[in-house]
Structure formats: C-alpha cells, structure tokens
C-alpha cells in the first residue's frame, strides 16, 4: 500500500491536523470498527466503487457513500467497509478546526456521516477533481490545501477560548473539566455553546473522548494484560467499572477484549 502523511503549514496548521493519502489498500478483513477519536474528517474516495457504512446493531445492513463524505464528531464506534484496492485522501481537522470551512455549527454533523456535497454543496466536486488530476502525492496535498484556502475565504482566525480549552483537555488525565472552564472566566453555558459551535460537543463529552483516547494510548504502549484498576485510577475514572462502562459505550467491547484484538493501528479494529 502507498501511504503519504502531510501536515499543512501556516495558517492551515492551526485548523488541519493531518492530511492522509493512501492507495491500493489491501486489508485481510472486510469490515473495520472505527472508535471515537475527537476529530471531524473529510474523506475523498479516489475510486468509483461505493463504500459502505454498516448499521451498528445489524452489520448485515449498510448505507453506501460515493466520491466524498464527511464524518462528524463521534461519541460511539462505527463500522465501515475495508475495501481491497481502496484509494483515499482524508482531511483530519483539529478540535474546533472544521468550523471555518463548514460555515455552520459543527454540532449539526455530530454523530453523522453524510455525503460531502449534501453538507457543503457542489464545491466538493472540485476537491475530488483536483486531487484526481494532480500527479503524485505532493501535488495532491497541494490541491487539498488550495481547496481549503478557497473554502475558508480568509477566515483563518481560530476561537482563542476554544483553542485554549481543547489544548488544556489534552493535558494528562486527572484534570477537572469544570476547573479548566473556570480558568477562562466565562460561564459554563457560554463555553458549552462555543464548544457545540466550534467542536461539535460540549466540553464534558469532548473530555470523555479525550480521556478514552488516553486510555487507548496506554494500551498501545503496553498491550500485554494491563491492570485495568490501575489504568482507571491513572486516567481519572471513579473506578474500574466506570472505565468499563465508558469503554463499552465508545468501543462496543470491554477493555480486555480491545487489548486482545488490538492490531497495532490506533482507533481501527478488524471486525472479521
């Protein structure tokens, strides 16, 4: 498989965390479980074959997506098709980074996957066409950056409060969200509104996802039979059962099952 990772320079770097281009993906499985990771992503499919998003409660049923789609902030896992020969470009926004490119409150796409042209209009066809026309990975990344600049229309001013708070919530576990919010001097209600508009979730729900991601990181570092009581304490859970409840809700499995299944790729698990 061909893989190219690109981190944009200023001013896009404050909004876009990573642009990934891959081609000729050859998985050994047909479905993947994708876990909540605290990001909004635009996915551009460079092939003509439709890709499937499966129903969580019935994996025999699915919805097809073509050409380009957008995945909002997610609070639970989703199941997607792992298609042989897939070729895609994925634009991953930083927390709060998608808002200037969408032009509406990011909460409107939370827990959804939708066709990009339905969400953003016909300008999305230009994005895919430019990527397909570009020769080589570097040219494709330049095409993505050009499209993003046009889409932003000069709106390269992140919200300083959201930027500060999302950065603080990346801090080591144990930090209290209420204490972080108090640092900026705004009411809880005002901050919740900012987060819904810019991030897609209120601070408490976003903080849950960040804590879940920190737990996944600890499993990644040492997947061999972690002591889950110690992991729960380290990451600010009340107890091990609290950790297990969050894990089952967001990953659809117990922490132990995740550790046994972990294939070495963060946030993706083969289903079959």
From 23-27, 72-76, 256-260, the region with the lowest mean pLDDT:
256-260
Residue that wins the pLDDT comparison between 173 and 79: 79
Q: Which strands sit side by side in the sheet containing 113-115, from one edge to the other?
A: 2-6, 16-25, 86-93, 41-45, 68-71, 113-115
Q: Which pLDDT band holds residue 190 (cuts at 50, 70, 90)?
A: very high
Query: What is the C-alpha separation between 162 and 95, in angstroms, rounded?
Result: 8
What confidence score (pLDDT) does residue 174 get?
56
Structure tokens at 10: 């200023």
What pTM was estimated for this model as a whole?
0.94
Q: What is the pLDDT of residues 192-250, one digit of tens each?
A: 999 999 999 998 899 899 999 989 888 777 666 788 899 898 888 889 999 999 999 99
pLDDT digits (tens, 9 = 90+) for 144-171: 999 999 999 888 999 999 999 888 876 6
Domains and CATH numbers, the chain: 2-152 (2.60.120.10), 160-270 (1.10.10.60)
The confidence score (pLDDT) of residue 175 equals 66
Whether residue 64 contacts residue 87, with contact meaning beta carbons closer than 8 Å, is answered with: no
DSSP H or E run through 221? helix 203-221
- Quote the pLDDT of residue 205: 92
d(CA 253, CA 105): 31
Q: What is the mean pLDDT of the chain?
A: 91
Q: How far apart are CA 153 and CA 147, in angstroms?
A: 10
């Amino acid at each position: 498989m061909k893989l190219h990772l690109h981190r944009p320079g200023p001013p896009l770097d404050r909004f876009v965390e990573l642009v990934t281009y891959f081609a000729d993906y050859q998985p050994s499985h047909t479905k993947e479980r994708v876990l909540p990771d605290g990001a909004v992503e635009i996915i551009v499919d460079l092939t003509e074959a439709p890709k499937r998003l499966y129903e969580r409660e019935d994996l025999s049923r699915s919805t097809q997506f073509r050409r380009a789609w957008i995945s909002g902030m997610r609070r639970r896992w989703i199941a997607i098709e792992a298609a042989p020969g897939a070729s895609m470009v994925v634009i991953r926004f930083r927390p709060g980074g998608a808002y200037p490119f969408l032009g509406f409150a990011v909460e409107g796409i939370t827990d959804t996957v939708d066709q990009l042209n339905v969400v953003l209009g016909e300008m999305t066809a230009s994005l895919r066409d430019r990527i397909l026309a570009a020769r080589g990975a570097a040219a494709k990344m330049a095409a993505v950056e050009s499209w993003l600049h046009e889409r932003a229309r000069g709106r390269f001013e992140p919200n300083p409060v959201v930027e500060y708070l999302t950065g603080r919530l990346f801090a080591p576990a144990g930090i209290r969200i209420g204490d972080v919010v108090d640092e900026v001097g705004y009411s809880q209600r005002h901050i919740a509104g900012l987060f819904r508009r810019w991030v897609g979730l209120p601070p408490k729900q976003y903080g849950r996802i960040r804590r879940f991601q920190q737990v996944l990181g600890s499993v990644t570092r040492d997947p061999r039979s972690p002591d889950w009581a110690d992991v729960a304490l380290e990451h600010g859970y009340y107890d091990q059962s609290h950790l297990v409840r969050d894990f089952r809700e967001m990953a659809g499995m117990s922490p132990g099952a995740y550790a046994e299944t972990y294939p070495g790729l963060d946030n993706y698990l083969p289903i079959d």
